[in-house]
């Protein structure tokens, strides 16, 4: 039977507890299912932020800190890279990957950010939006905490347009991805959640429209792997109208 993505508060709790359950082997899982390509896409995310030395950046849904650590390299010693996630298990792994404590990891909800208005130069999120109960609430919060002209960059799954390629990717996500996951964590249903959550996630065009509707400007996206993975870039207007 097809996996049903839970809704509302049930989804929030499901995602939070399941990511903690799979945290220890999450990086291995990512490497296996993307054949290491997620590293390349994450480098592109950091490039798209336009961050400079000394800037302040936030990586939402940071997981094991892959993007956060890259952001830290970009902003340098004088800058700050925050990584925020609501899963304690994921945060524990992120801290072991940053033994010197160069990044600032914190627990929190991507739809309610504990940051002051206009305090950050860039906000990123990697494979996170799909898991949120209300993506629009996250966009409103990101817009609030970004400085005028600041950038938001999201990496996530997208829709493949070419019918044959779509069929191939769909087989891969629905058959191979859960199989790889279940080999790592026998009996774990989280790996059926992944492809099911992608089905109900907006297309790249729809997400771009949502970003504009929430007040971002110069929204654009880049497709990778025929659109199965997408990078969105959006700017907070230099002067934000009320
Ligand atoms: C697929 S993982 C991505 C991790 C990392 N960004 C990466 O690309 O490797 C999604 C992460 O989003 C986190 N997450 C989901 N919903 C969240 C929320 N409402 N607030 C904060 N973190 C959330 C999960 O705990 C998980 O670590």
The answer to whether the CB of 124 falls within 8 A of the CB of 83 is no
Is the pLDDT at 240 greater than 60? The verdict is: no
User: 85 labelled as ligand-binding?
Assistant: yes
* Residue burial 187-200, b: 16+ Cβ < 10 Å; e: rest: ebebbbbbbbbbee
Place of tokens 């492809």: 195
The answer to whether the CB of 118 falls within 8 A of the CB of 145 is yes
**pLDDT (average), residues 42-59:** 98
Structure tokens at 227: 């659109």
- From CA 157, how far away is CA 231, in angstroms rounded? 9
The C-alpha torsion from 237 through 110 and 196 to 213, rounded to 10°, is -20
Going by alpha carbons, the residue nearest to atom 26 of ligand 1 is: 63
pLDDT of residue 195: 86
Going by alpha carbons, the residue nearest to atom 8 of ligand 1 is: 126
> DSSP state, 123?
E
Angle made by CA atoms 9, 10, 14, in degrees to the nearest 5: 120
Provide the whole-model pTM.
0.96
User: 109 labelled as ligand-binding?
Assistant: yes
Structure tokens at 192: 């059926």
- Ligand 1 geometric centre to CA of 63 (Å): 5
- Ligand 1 geometric centre to CA of 164 (Å): 30
User: 64 labelled as ligand-binding?
Assistant: yes
- From CA 173, how far away is CA 198, in angstroms rounded? 9
151-191 pLDDT per residue, tens: 999 999 999 999 999 999 999 999 999 999 999 999 998 89
Q: Could you tell me if the CB of 128 is within 6 A of ligand 1?
A: yes
Give 239's pLDDT tier (boundaries 50, 70, 90): confident
- The CATH superfamily label for domain 8-235 reads Vaccinia Virus protein VP39 (3.40.50.150)
Structure tokens at 48: 């798209």
Give 1's pLDDT tier (boundaries 50, 70, 90): low
Going by alpha carbons, the residue nearest to atom 5 of ligand 1 is: 63
The C-alpha torsion from 107 through 114 and 208 to 241, rounded to 10°, is 180
């Amino acid at each position: 039977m097809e996996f049903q993505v839970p809704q509302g508060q049930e989804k929030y709790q499901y995602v939070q507890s399941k990511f903690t359950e799979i945290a220890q082997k999450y990086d291995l899982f990512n490497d296996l299912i993307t054949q290491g390509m997620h590293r390349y896409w994450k480098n592109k995310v950091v490039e798209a932020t336009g961050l400079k030395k000394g800037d302040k950046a936030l990586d939402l849904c940071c997981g094991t800190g892959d993007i956060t650590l890259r952001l830290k390299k970009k902003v340098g010693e004088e800058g700050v890279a925050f990584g925020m996630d609501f899963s304690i298990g994921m945060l524990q792994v992120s801290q072991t990957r940053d033994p010197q404590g160069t990044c600032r990891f914190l627990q929190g909800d991507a739809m309610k950010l504990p940051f002051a208005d206009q305090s950050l130069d860039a906000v990123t999120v990697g494979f996170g939006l799909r898991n949120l109960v209300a993506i629009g609430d996250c966009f409103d919060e990101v817009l609030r905490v970004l400085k005028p002209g600041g950038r938001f960059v999201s990496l996530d799954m997208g829709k493949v347009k070419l019918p044959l390629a779509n069929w191939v990717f769909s087989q891969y996500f629905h058959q191979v991805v859960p199989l790889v996951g279940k080999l790592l964590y026998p009996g774990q249903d989280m790996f059926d959640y992944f492809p099911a959550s992608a089905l109900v996630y907006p297309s790249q065009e729809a997400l771009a429209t949502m970003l504009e509707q929430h007040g971002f400007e110069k929204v654009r996206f880049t497709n990778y792997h025929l659109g199965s993975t997408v990078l969105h870039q959006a700017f907070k207007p230099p002067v934000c109208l009320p």
